[in-house]
Amino acid sequence: MVPEYIIVQKIICSECKKENIIKWTKRKTQNRGFIQRYKCKDCGKTFTLDDGFFRMRNTPQKITLCLDLFYRGVSARKVQEHLQAFYPHNSSWVSIYSWVVKYAKKIGKFTDKLKLNVGSEMQVDEVEYQRRKSSKSKGIEQNWFIDSMDTETRFIVASNYLKSRGQKGIKQILNSVKQKTENQVKICTTDGYCGYQNIVSKAWGYNLKMNKYNVVHNRVNARKGEGFNYPIERTHNNIRARTKTFRGFHGRINSANAIMKGLEIYLNFIREHLAIGCCPYELAIPNLKLGINKWLDLIKLASY
């Protein structure tokens, strides 16, 4: 049974890890109001809870607003201009960019551990990108964004931004899919790229009793008129529409991976998919309950 994810934080002492805790005054901050402090009756340690915004100088609502605007297509500099009209304490576009990278990594660690309820077919494909080799030098480098998506729930199960489209990177994606979906996948659909042939069969293995592979590899070559993997290709159109204005990911592979992870989170948990009429997570993880500000709830769940 899939557990129900509820935002409940267990209060324990940060020093002795005990639960004999009482409320102990409040700390006044410049932009976040009053924050509750706690005291441990065993060791006397006073502390505040880390709700995902510990020591942040801006409100959670403002930070999540910036995340949402960024992944909806607004650049970090345009978000800064937007904040100037509505918030007296403005934030630099550099801070906004750092929030995007920080919370994409933080939420990604939580979402990667979730067990999924998916259909029988999984599609795997890749998108080519040209990234600056360095933020301090000219030149571009060919990179690949490889992802897998469930055709029934439209949920992106696993993704990664890699320097090359090698077997090691593809194998990492398929192993992650197998871990999250367990024995639900029966068909793995890819394009005609020959690098998928051996990896798909090795990832799910061979059944000696049934004398067949556990997962059927369905290769679809559009050039030969064998069809078109439209569900994942349609998702790639949305990804390209957002990333086409990026200026080489600032020449950093780590930030590029974090931004693409945040885009995966946006498509899975924030944006309503037109084909299914809801967010993909509502079908793939029905016991995950998120409120109106889904970014805020995901950050809190990732922190507790």
Question: Where do the domains of the chain lie, and which CATH numbers do they carry?
Answer: 121-287 (3.30.420.10)
Angle at 146 between CA 144 and CA 149, to 5 degrees: 155
Residue 73 confidence (pLDDT): 93
Question: What local confidence, expressed as pLDDT, does residue 247 receive?
Answer: 76
Helices 93-111 + 294-303 axis angle, to 10: 60
Which residues in the chain show pLDDT less than 70? 1-9, 225
Q: State residue 26's pLDDT score.
A: 83
- pLDDT for the residue 9: 61
Average pLDDT of the residues of the chain: 87
Integer Cα distance of 304 and 299 in angstroms: 9
Cα separation of 132 and 141, whole Å? 6
pLDDT of residue 1: 37
Chain length of the chain: 304
Predicted local distance difference test score (pLDDT) of residue 4: 56
Question: Within 13 Å, how many C-alpha atoms sit on residue 242's CB side?
Answer: 19
> What's the pLDDT score for residue 238?
93
Summarised one tens digit per residue, pLDDT across range 53-90 is 888 888 899 999 999 999 999 999 999 999 988 887 77
